[in-house]
Amino acid sequence: MKIGIDARICDDGGYYWQYCWELVVAFCRTNTQHDIVVYRNNDISGNIEKTRSETMSFNRLKAFEEGKARRVFQKENFWMMIFFDHHVPHHYKWEYFIFIESLKEVFFPKKRYFARRTYQYKLQRAIKHSGLVIAMDWWSALELNERLNVPEYKIEKIHWFFPRAVRSNVTEMIVDVATKHDLRGKYLIYDSGNEMHNNFDRILKTIRKLKEKELIIYLIILCEETNKDLDVRSRSIEYDIADQIIFLWPVDPAVEASYYGQSAGVIFSSIYESFPFHFSKAISYWVPIFANDIPANKEVMWSSISYLDPLSIHNITDTIAHALSFPKPPNYTQVKSNFSSQKSALELHRILDLKD
């Protein structure tokens, strides 16, 4: 039987894009019974064994061009198509599964009104006509059922994983970060975004609270979106911690390992996650992680990270102060063994076998 995979991920090359491509590669390599056709963007290079790859550069934002994509898919007469998120061509009537990364754009929208309504319409339409919706975690699966009225029999969950392609392949160069930035104490790294659900202001208030306790902690921001946000800079001045916040973007890939390796940890303040992709670099560099005590994080990380109370600055402050005073090396061995591209690919094969 013939399976089509639309791997034209509309992303900026972030963790989810890397995850999707590694899953597609693992799925194709573990395939033993299906003919697979993978549609990809022009910027994805390389071939996959036992797979036919097709380049498709149609603009998903234009209905006319997506109509072309639909006709290409339908001409192949696939037994099953696999799409990611809401990107299903309009009027596509054949059988398909859909992967849902998260519902953050439903609950914490950053799009303007018209774009938001268009997104919600496309998402609900894609889910309605799909044969199965594959979620990243049990929390998202529950939300699909309770918030979007997706029946339980239509929801599946497979193990997701942290993509491997998060570290640069360039030759690493060692630098003394403290000397380079004239730091007189330990520093934390923040490499996530500054959307509503990221709750970043909590981190700034925590740095201020630690300063009030005479514990000077620096924060190095390795995120383009957060670095460009002028409101973050104005708040750091308002909280009297401007000299403790280092805006660094882009970071030279050759020295990235030094920044992570010499840090006291990576901190996250998000109040909503599906699978915590943003932990990828911290795990790759074996750096301690401080993150909010929310279901998605605990489902994946268990006791391997330090959990913060998203509602209490005092708890966050005390947790970080204690962890920095009594540092322990992290152990992500179990996490890495539990979540892999091969396991996810085999589970996807299992779902398809049940459908067959």
| Mean pLDDT of all residues in 9-34 | 83
Structural contact between residues 186 and 155, judged by C-beta atoms closer than 8 angstroms: no
Number of domains in the chain: 2
| Mean pLDDT of all residues in 329-355 | 92
Looking at residue 78, its pLDDT comes to 96
Mean pLDDT across the chain: 90
Asked whether residue 81 falls in the same domain as residue 219, the answer is: no
| Mean pLDDT of all residues in 123-135 | 94
Looking at residue 38, its pLDDT comes to 92
Looking at residue 2, its pLDDT comes to 95
| Mean pLDDT of all residues in 203-221 | 97
Task: Find the domain containing 145 and state its range.
Answer: 2-161+340-355
Assigned domain for 167 exists = no
Q: Which pLDDT tens digit goes with each residue over 272-298?
A: 988 999 999 999 999 999 999 998 899
Identify each DSSP E strand in the chain by its residue range: 2-6, 35-40, 52-55, 80-84, 96-100, 132-135, 155-157, 187-190, 218-221, 245-247, 266-267, 289-292, 306-308
pLDDT reading at 62 higher than 70: no
| Token output for 296 | 């998605």
Asked whether residue 300 falls in the same domain as residue 349, the answer is: no
Asked whether residue 204 falls in the same domain as residue 261, the answer is: yes
* DSSP secondary structure letter of residue 37: E
Asked whether residue 149 falls in the same domain as residue 182, the answer is: no
pLDDT reading at 41 higher than 90: no
Assigned domain for 171 exists = no
Assigned domain for 252 exists = yes
Asked whether residue 206 falls in the same domain as residue 268, the answer is: yes
Please give the share of the chain, as a percent, with pLDDT higher than 70.
95
| Mean pLDDT of all residues in 322-346 | 94
pLDDT grade, residue 213 (50/70/90)? very high
Asked whether residue 328 falls in the same domain as residue 347, the answer is: no
Q: Which pLDDT tens digit goes with each residue over 137-184?
A: 888 899 999 989 999 999 999 988 999 867 777 888 999 999 999 999
Residue of higher predicted confidence among 7 and 245: 245
Asked whether residue 150 falls in the same domain as residue 13, the answer is: yes
> Which of 8-12, 102-106, 145-149 shows the lowest per-residue confidence on average (mean pLDDT)?
8-12
Please give the share of the chain, as a percent, with pLDDT higher than 90.
65
Looking at residue 165, its pLDDT comes to 64
Q: Which residues of 111-137 are buried (b: 16+ CB within 10 A; e: fewer)?
A: eeeeeeeebbebbeebbeebebbbbbb
Assigned domain for 39 exists = yes
Looking at residue 276, its pLDDT comes to 92
pLDDT grade, residue 59 (50/70/90)? low
Assigned domain for 170 exists = no
